[in-house]
Structure 1
Amino acid sequence: MSRSGVDIPRYALLGEDPTGSREELVHCETIAARSVRYDWNIPAHRHPALCQLLLVFEGQAAITLGSHGENPCVPFILIVPSGTVHAFRFEPGVSGFVLTLSNRLVQSLGQDALLRNLLGEPHIASISAMMADRLRAMGEQVLLASGHEPPRELLRRSLAEALLRIAAEECGQPARQHGDRLVTRFQALVEAHCRRERRLAFYAQGLCCTERTLTRRVGEALGVSPMDYLHQRLAVEATRLLRFTNASCADVADELSFEDPSYFSRWYRRMTGRRPSTISGRQRAGRGSS
């Protein structure tokens, strides 16, 4: 990308005047909806007042962020903060969403360190197939909530924040920069099996190493033991189920293979400092109607 910064076009959404009156805090569309107009080749541009998150699930894409080019493997997440020069070349028919957030919304979300870290810097992150399925389902819900009526705007914002938190859980994993292939494979096993399998021996056997080696390598890369990492990941999953589904505390305990809901409640409080009932919408509603 050799053009100087002053020559790079500035848009609200691509092709729209950046000084126009777009008041949406959240806009969502499929990648195809706008890319097909440009023959799937999006030229270099930037958004002075908008941040974008791209979710690409299937198909090939060539991404340029500033002066850096990459051809990431799908599925992946792309974060484009406001003002970042970017360009895309998509394979026709690529599957994914573009979530656009106003700077006003990004600033309000920035009070949360998890979301601030997610949206603060341009980056590309590979995601697991399981996480891609969750994000695809959430993106479809945001898309269905399109419309300018205030109730739809409020719903769209709530759904977008839920999507961002799920994305932040995945992109915020510290081991994505550690470079240790064994630990990366351990993380993948945790993603696939943490709901059912809690034994260190299971993960060591799956990685063809001793429990001692796995403990040492994970400790060096992540600063925690393998079981601490697994339980932290499980706590994130429990929080997601409690906050964003209609599951009761007993439902979540069963989904995550805790034999005793009371033990799950004690475990969750030990992990997070909160009782699960304090963030379960279904549980709060039940108390209010009793």
Structure 2
Amino acid sequence: MPTLRERPIPVFRLYGETAEATVPSFVHAERIGTSAALHDWEIAPHRHGALTQGLVVTSGHGALSLDASREEFSAPWLVWVPSGVVHAFSFRPGTDGVVLSLADDFLAAVLDPDAEAARLRVTAEATFSGRPGSPEEIDLDLARLVETLMREAAGALPGAASAVAALVKLLVVGVMRTRAARSITEPAALARADLHRRFRRLVEAHLREGWPVARFAAALGVSPDRLHAACTEAVRRSPQGILHDRLMLEAKRSLVYTTLPVSKVAFDLGFNDPAYFSRFFAARAGLSPASFRRASRGGET
């Protein structure tokens, strides 16, 4: 019988529901306590394969884990978790707010036709956790917005689907303003932001295949220099840096949440030589993969 950590990191639709149950254009909103109370207010590490989640905590407090980081929070608090990000929550009993779950295809349908599509997509694909600020600072009262979204997502009112689409766009705009995202308005900048977004999607699709940056650039129909300019403008990271960051993140996930041998982790991530993978990892983490695993588990062996 495999232990818990020998199993893959669970991928759910909603927490505890199999990912295979996800349906196109899925939208769901509920009070935080609806699911959290069923699990003693402890939501174990998991991720969603094709769902982005937003939480607006209106009262109470707790702790949030996003991949390798952990922070405490107290209301009012906003959490935005794109699909694929490992996350966990420990809520104080009675904590209130709304959790919104959005299928990625629904987000794309809502955001992509917008004139500010690239800017909004960059926001929707970024992880954010922090105090949302006052309505005066962001021009949107996110707590009231998600309450309205929860009501419309039930689908009982005429025009609910259109209302949900409009409210979701407002929510993403609110997240963008809260994050004080840098303005991207000129056409050339929009094109570079879109190129960065497409590169990130391609990285997700081919992460484990060992592609060099030049191959990503060729698949995107641009030169490596153009791809470099787009990525450094969008996130101040080179394509190679983004690719290595993503490999490191997935390596840490496997080391923390599974008991796969280091050699298997290396092969799964497209490294032909486990020794090279160990050097790659240690150069960036300051620890060997085995030492990182032990440290992440409080020294357990």
Give me the TM-score of the superposition, normalised by structure 1. 0.54
Question: Unmatched 5+ residue regions in structure 2?
Answer: 183-301
Partner SS for 1:7: coil
Separation of aligned partners in 1, 2:22 and 2:56 = 26
Q: Distance in 2 between matches of 1:133 and 1:97?
A: 16
- Alignment check: 8 A CA contact 2:110 2:165 kept: no
Which of the numbers 122, 126, 137 marks the counterpart of 2:127?
122
The answer as to 2:146 corresponding to 1:139 is: yes
Is contact 1:10-1:45 (8 Å) kept? yes
Q: CA deviation at 1:163?
A: 2.0
DSSP 3-state at the match of 1:62: strand
Task: Name the structure 2 match of 1:170.
Answer: 178
Q: How far did 1:61 drift? A: 1.6
Length-normalised TM-score, structure 2? 0.52
Amino acid corresponding to residue 23 of structure 2 in structure 1: R
Q: Is the 8 A contact 1:118 1:172 kept in 2?
A: no
CA contact (8 A) 1:109 1:116 kept: no
Q: Separation in 2 of the partners of 1:35 and 1:85?
A: 17
Instruction: Say if 2:12 and 2:19, in contact at 8 Å, map to a contact too.
Output: yes
Deviation above 6 Å: which 4+ runs of structure 1?
Answer: none
Contact (CA 8 Å) 1:26, 1:153: kept in 2 or not? no
Instruction: Give the aligned residue type for 1:80.
Output: V
1:135 is displaced (CA, Å) by 0.9
1:93 alignment partner in structure 2: 94
Counterpart of 1:71? Answer: 72
Equivalent residue, structure 1, for 2:159? 151
Structure 1 residue runs without a partner (length 5+): 175-290
Cα distance, 1:85 vs. partner? 0.6
Question: 1:105–1:62: structure 2 CA closer, same or farther, 3 Å change rule?
Answer: same
Task: Please report how far the alpha carbon of residue 22 of structure 1 lies from its aligned counterpart in structure 2 after TM superposition.
Answer: 3.0
* 8 A Cα contact 2:61 2:75, kept in partner: yes
Q: What does the per-residue CA deviation read over 1:129-184, in whole Å, with 9 as the maximum and x for residues that have no partner? A: 4369811111111111133568322222222222221232122256xxxxxxxxxx
Cα distance in 1 between the residues matched to 2:111 and 2:154: 25
Instruction: Count residues with an aligned counterpart.
Output: 173
